[in-house]
Amino acid sequence: MITTLPFESREAYGSLYKRAVANFDRLEREDYDPGHLFKESGYGWPGDWEGRTLLAWTLLARSTRREPKYLAQAMGMLDERTNEDGYFGTRHPAGTIDEQQLAGHSWYLRALCEYYDWKRDESVLDRIRAIVRNLLLPAAGHFALYPDRPEQRTIGGAAIGEVKDKVGAWYLSTDIGCAFIMLDGATHAYEMAPEPGLKSLIEEMIGKWMTIDPAAAFFQTHATLSAARGLLRFYESTGRKELLAKVEELLLLYEERGMTDHYANYNWFGRPEWTECCAIVDSFMLAVGLWKHTGNSAHLDAAHHILYNGLGHGQRPNGGFGCDVCLGVKDGYLSPIEEMFEANWCCTMRGGEGLSRAIEYSYWVRDREITLPFYETSAVTLALADGEIRLEQSSAYPIEGSVRLTVRSNTCREPIALRLYVPSWADSRSVSVRIDGSAVDADIRQGFAFVRHLFPSGTELTFEFGIECRRESAFGFHTAVKGFSYRHGPLLLGVGTDGAGASLLGIGQTGASSAGLAEREMEPLGAGRYRIGGTEAVLSPINDLIELDEEAARRSRKLVLFKDSYREAPGPRT
């Protein structure tokens, strides 16, 4: 099976690394230090803030190769901050379950699992087992009765979910379906510390999940995608093919009903009110996981668009992550939501996992085959069947379709197969592979250029494909704009609304039409930017908020969907 490499085998230096470092810096400011990390009693999401932060610190430390400032201190404080059963928050009476507590502890379990995978500290396994024994296993028998009908609960929660209803054993959150976030943490715990009772609980959770239509139940998209990642991990543990099929079904549902035109999310199915980077990260990781197991490069194409648009636009100048408007629902403009400019209670931490995974996903191996599904300026050492090879990569992607690989050392004696990602939007005639300056034939299949070579030390390979401005039709389920977007490779482009060029296009005027825009020539300006012919308006990538100062980022508003006309968006399912 194709697998990623240990974090320690690589060093990243490119744009993903810089974003990860900015996020790491944000997570080591005062509001995340150990004095603020642990929440007092009465906090509605016990384990959530703590778990997400510990998870982000652990993964960012590994992906950036930087010592975390607070992680060791925080881990040493866990005994005094958790209850006598080893988890956060209230010990509820038997037969009573708080789904927000379960959801929060999914992140805490995942943090402990990732920390154990890194440090191999056996005491961490004891913490995992205690949570399973004292918090998870008492929920056995109750997941089968989870209230999933809309009439059983409050529809219409705010950005931070609240417990509003009690049905049977369940204290129910306005983050509908968040109990199933625990599928992610439970399956991760089972992977690290398998035991029969936990497996039975996971199977009960999955059995109930298989009966639910998340869109009909107005589930939170974040909860849906986290549950799907748990299904995918359990598929990896069990090989049950129906789980893989269900994960593909769920991702397709999300892409059709839950994804915005800038590859972010509607926070709930049927409620297109704001985006949430937590779900964006889940969708990115899920798409890559499905590519891993199916070989379907359409999932990899989706992952690139999610990473560079939904997640890219969500990152703020301070390195944190926040919530945006749902592009297309009201009009074609994309902007942050002022009151949720940074969601420091959830998205800032999950952004750390997303960026760390993007760095991890840059290199994969299988037998004598090396696969590059993402590009990042970096260095890596890969252990193969008959030796070891060290590569250095220089990449201009996604601005340019240009990658250079230099072999610094190679002890392998047999040829090595190298697979290089070719995006679906790239013209195959523009693909070029050269080894030490000489063109070589590359077999393009399943979204990759395939090259087989000895790659002795000192070899230099250059890989190129063309990137041009192109148009794509709007696709969001709730999108009211019948029109199109401009792209530079995977990058969505938009026009700022505060410049002279905007007024030339009539941008900013209510109901302004972009008729005739499609016929204009686009003048390349470099860095993914284009001047619209006959105007001073400039299209530029939407993922540039991190490069602005905070004031400019807060008032950023770009026209991204150019309308042919307006149509009525479909309403919520009832």
Whole-angstrom Cα distance, residue 341 to residue 51? 22
**Residue with the two structure tokens 């900015």:** 22
**Share above pLDDT 90 across residues of the chain, in percent, rounded to a whole number:** 88
pLDDT digits (tens, 9 = 90+) for 171-224: 999 999 999 999 999 999 999 999 999 999 999 999 999 999 999 999 999 999
Decide: pTM greater than 0.85: yes
- Whether pLDDT at 306 is above 70: yes
Burial 447-471 (b: 16+ CB within 10 A, else e): bbbbbeeebeeebebbbbbebebee
Q: How many CB atoms lie within 10 A of CB 156?
A: 11
* pLDDT at residue number 481: 85
Determine how many CB atoms are found less than 10 A away from the CB of residue 6: 13
With beta carbons less than 8 A apart as the criterion, state whether 324 and 313 touch.
yes
Q: For residue 533, how many other CB atoms are within 10 A of its CB?
A: 12
**Can you list the positions of beta strands (E) in 73-183?**
97-98, 163-167, 170-173
User: In whole angstroms, how far apart are CA 85 and each of 91, 132, 467?
Assistant: 8, 10, 56
pLDDT bracket for residue 42 (50, 70, 90): confident
**Can you give the pLDDT at residue 574?**
27
Percent of the chain with pLDDT over 70: 94
With bands split at pLDDT 50, 70 and 90, how would you rate the model's confidence at 344? very high
Alpha-carbon distance 233 to 239, whole Å? 10
pLDDT value at residue 509: 42
pLDDT digits (tens, 9 = 90+) for 375-428: 999 999 999 988 999 999 999 999 999 999 999 999 999 999 999 999 999 999
pLDDT for 500 equals 45
pLDDT at residue 573 tops 60: no
Tokens 């482009």, located at residue: 493
| Alpha carbon distance 264, 310 (integer Å) | 4
Which domains are delineated in the chain? Answer: 33-212 (no CATH), 366-397+401-464 (2.60.40.1180), 469-566 (no CATH)
User: Taking Cα atoms as reference points, which of 443, 300, 440, 415 lies closest to residue 364?
Assistant: 300
For residue 501, the model assigns a pLDDT of 44
- The answer to whether 375 and 393 have CB atoms below 8 angstroms apart is yes
pLDDT for 90 beyond 60: yes
Is residue 490 within 8 Å of residue 302, measured between CB atoms? no
The answer to which of 36-45, 215-224, 271-280 has the lowest mean pLDDT is 36-45
> By three-state DSSP, how is residue 535 classified?
coil
Q: What is the DSSP string of 451-469?
A: EEE---TT-EEEEE----E
Given this model, what pLDDT does residue 564 score?
67
Q: Find the length of the chain.
A: 574
Q: Residue 135: what pLDDT?
A: 98
* DSSP category for residue 86: S
Tell me how crowded residue 263 is: count the other CB atoms within 10 A of its CB.
Answer: 29
Choice between 484 and 570, residue whose per-residue pLDDT is larger:
484
Q: What is the 3-state secondary structure (H, E, C) of 240-275?
A: CHHHHHHHHHHHHHHHHHCECCCCCECCECCECCCC
Give the span between the Cα atoms of 214 and 220, in whole angstroms: 8
